[in-house]
Structure 1
């Protein structure tokens, strides 16, 4: 009943929005205008542009952003606030959100493959990663099961393997097909409207371009989260077979899951951490030539202050992601991602999509906006965002390449190049974090400021309703 009410409310808001967009109805659920051209000059006022952009973005993120499962005591209001918090991060740093989604997807796929013989899929793996199973002792909630905890307990026959079918997962999902369809129609309407205006030579506002790019990034996020259940609010309880035992047996792998720290333990910063923590030459194997050991020692001493500042900046940037599963926790952190999911591919994701994200704004700046509306702050911010992410991507590739050469050739020169590329990466990180945050903040402010600068002619719109059937 709750889902049906939510779906009905969603359709009411959607219908009201379409009704306010103008245009006579033909009585068959589609709106057609008598002119196949421009609407009146007041058809796209500033308020209507802001409303359509924010409404579309909210609807899109409601469907694409999928939180982890909260603890049993979490209220609906608290869960909604968590989702809004994640939406804010999606607007601020969508490429970082894609990194987190990729980590969860790789882990979910691995779990799905491991238990494929039991009928499990990637969706079941997502359910584990998002904290879907809660260990209980004599019916009392005891500890949320991380992916590693879950697999160890199953392999050691310390819990009964849960019989969760796809039907059960669908029942856990808090959505409705009608509401999902309304989200698709609203997004399709907005994308068609923006593309149609650009194709017919009408000037597009920066807010619409920024919204369109975020919609595309949400689409990429949805690809990673396609199998992840949406808005699950209650985990499934599993009783420990031996209620007197702890989660980790004496022979179990050390509970490193509690230290699945997004910042400290991901491969992106592992090389920096290793370099900084080389405090003495004797930690290197003695068969390594003295020249190589001296090179490492000198570079480590000289670059330590740089890396310390860089690490602190990265830690500040990723602070919402740097959370642990503490003993006794009944839910995983908001941006939980297991260490086992971190691969060489995922390391590149934030920089690749960060470059694409900034580059798409740069492309729009030169192709969709009039030279009369040139703005130095807007131009610098989009160039800075694309530039720092692109530079980081190049340096990261250089780090991996020089490390490969050093592992293969093992010479003083390759060691110097490998360590030097690590220093360069640390220097790059000094600029990446503050520059990307500041640039993104300026972009978000400028899209609203520049909306007032556009002449009414630029706010003309096509009768887009000729192309998309919709309800009125």
Structure 2
């Protein structure tokens, strides 16, 4: 009764008894030499271990909000992991932004003793300005400025350094007395940190309020000590992914069957190497930031508690008005007013796509934010950096899809499954080229908008619809490929259970 399984998938009509599990049926009597056979469970386990190493272990999240619940903190991590499984190339895009921004930041402040680890720590929300015991502002890249201290001799002063700006009819005072700063912040007073926000966007001139604090003095070792990742965890992740890729290559050399799940996992492993390289110097899973400018006796610069904001909008009581909850969800997802959209259909339909878009587009640090966004990647100030990120995104996406195209001639349980695999592989391979073409066309679209706004409006709408459809197709194709990779395990060909003969691959006389 199990003979057809030994011969491959030639007779899919014969099904194993229901009392025998898939793992037992597929792993028994499918290989002649027990010393050179593997079970279905070993295939699944190696794939799951590699996927776990490529997602949960490799992801270096930003610092979560202060006092966030356990559910909220791990919920963010789970959502990010799901996004990484569906679209791992977006994680590379996120990591590439942080890498380029950290390199520029480390180079700019190298005379302060900063390294790329310091820059990564700032980008992930590692420094928060405090007034007394209340956080008032997380330090973002655009908030970091070099300034000259009033005491170049670096001597403690009994008089506080005052920074006054008339804002909404009040004078804000910031106490920077050396005697009132907690160590290790007070070690480097002649190097200052200035935060300025105009309230009218980052490109406007003339700050409305200024917070001046000492440049944070923290060593690379102190930052690394906060990281949950160490050399052992990195070594295990690299070893697992390298071994898996080597095993898949060896099976191809010996012309042994590679399962669809192994092929999809191999694509994860290849992109994992790029992500790990970009985040090599970034601290992992840091829970709490370093307070900057915390004082013990000076009055708070805000007489009233700062209201929580949603991209600059005052939060409301969501429990009493469900509509405001939808408004806040849409604002967080898209960064614009909920009332500007027509009805509830599109906001609710597009809300599941917000993690993908936020990871690709990034977020900004606004006035009053006490933590950076989940997918904050820093600020890319140069067109060259933006072009590099786009090139990395397109290249990694194309490679990810091309690896799936290797399974073009694989054996599948049915002809329909084979056609779905081929078509979905083409979709995820061609989508980055469409995205890259739209990125190139943006300057031309802006030129047409300035010269002929009446003509440009339909084309802009058409381009937005095309990009939305392409994104939906891409996500659907990724989900279909994952489903096909799992369902193909029900009926594997004979060669899939044979192990690699490593002695044959070792050079010998």
Q: TM-score, normalised by structure 1?
A: 0.67
The change in CA–CA distance for 1:392 and 1:315 in structure 2 (over 3 A counts) is farther
- Which residue in the other structure is 1:293 paired with? none
Secondary structure (helix, strand or coil) at the match of 1:135 reads strand
Matches of 1:256 and 1:158, distance apart in 2: 25
Q: Equivalent residue of 1:318, what SS? A: helix
Compute the displacement of 1:226 (Å). Answer: 1.7
Deviation of the 1:388 alpha carbon: 2.9
| Other structure's SS at 1:343 match | helix
Q: What's the counterpart of residue 469 of structure 2? A: 431
Determine if the alignment matches structure 1 residue 202 to structure 2 residue 275: no
Equivalence for 2:480 = 442
RMSD: 4.1
Q: 2:374 aligns with which of 318, 334, 337?
A: 334
Unaligned runs of 5+ in 2: 1-30, 147-191, 196-210, 303-308, 314-330
The 3-state SS of whatever aligns with 2:48 is: helix
* Cα distance in 2 between the residues matched to 1:428 and 1:435: 10
Q: Deviations over 1:245-304 (max 9, x none)?
A: 46xxxxxxxx99969988569xxxxxxxxxxx9xxxxxxxxxxxxxxxxxxxxxxxxxx9
The CA deviation string for residues 63-99 of structure 1, in whole angstroms up to 9 with x for no partner, is: 4210111234346675444333322211111122222
Q: How does 1:67-216 map to 2 (within 5 A)?
A: 67-74=61-68, 79-151=73-145, 154-155=193-194, 158-216=212-270
Mark the structure with the bigger radius of gyration. 2
Measure how far apart 1:360 and its partner are: 2.3
Kindly indicate whether the alpha-carbon contact (under 8 Å) linking 1:99 and 1:346 is maintained by their aligned counterparts in 2.
yes
- The 3-state SS of whatever aligns with 1:141 is strand
- Alignment of 1:458 with 2:496, yes or no, is yes
**Using the alignment, how far apart are the partners of 1:137 and 1:99 within structure 2?**
35
**What per-residue deviation string (whole Å, max 9, x for no partner) do you get for residues 340-387 of structure 1?**
45834434544443333223212x1236x2478652222222222223
The structure-2 alpha-carbon separation of the partners of 1:467 and 1:347, relative to structure 1 and needing over 3 Å to count, comes to same
Bigger Cα displacement from structure 2, 171-180 vs 214-223: 171-180
Cα offset for 1:435?
Answer: 0.5
SS, match of residue 255 in structure 2: coil
Q: How many Å apart are 1:206 and its aligned residue?
A: 0.7
Which 10-residue stretch deviates more, 223-232 or 127-136?
Answer: 223-232
Relative distance call for 1:144 and 1:405 in structure 2 (3 A) is: closer
Which residue number corresponds to residue 361 of structure 1? Answer: 404
2:287, 2:37 → 1: CA distance? Answer: 41
Asked if 2 retains the 8 angstrom alpha-carbon contact of 1:310 and 1:427, the reply is no
Q: Are 2:354 and 1:318 equivalent residues in the alignment?
A: yes
8 Å contact 2:133–2:294 — kept in the other structure? no
Whether contact under 8 Å (2:193, 2:212) holds in the other structure is yes
State the 1:315 CA deviation: 6.7
Q: Distance in 2 between matches of 1:42 and 1:170?
A: 44
**1:394 maps to what in 2?**
437
1:136/1:239 contact within 8 Å kept? yes
Distance 1:397 1:444 in 2: 31
Partner of residue 204, structure 2: none
Q: Is the 1:139–1:239 contact (alpha carbons within 8 Å) kept by the matching residues of 2? A: no
The structure in which a higher percent of residues are helix is 1
Change in CA separation of 1:261 and 1:79 when aligned onto 2, cut-off 3 Å = closer
Distance 1:151 1:397, change over 3 A: same
Which one is further off, 103-112 or 322-331? 322-331
Q: 1:172 to 1:38 in 2, by over 3 A?
A: farther
**How far, CA to CA, are the matches of 1:116 and 1:373 in structure 2?**
60
Deviates more, 1:92-101 or 1:128-137: 92-101
Following the alignment from structure 2 to structure 1, what is the Cα–Cα distance between the partners of residues 251 and 474? 30
**Secondary structure at the counterpart of residue 196 of structure 1:** helix
Partners in 1 of 2:487 and 2:280 — Cα distance? 35
Tell me the alpha carbon deviations over residues 414-447 of structure 1, each in whole angstroms, 9 at most, x when there is no partner. Answer: x999888756532421321211111111111110
Quote the Cα distance in structure 1 between the aligned partners of 2:420 and 2:254. 28
Other-structure match for 1:12: none
Find 1:44's aligned residue among 34, 38, 42.
Answer: 38
Residue in structure 2 matched with residue 237 of structure 1 by the alignment: 291
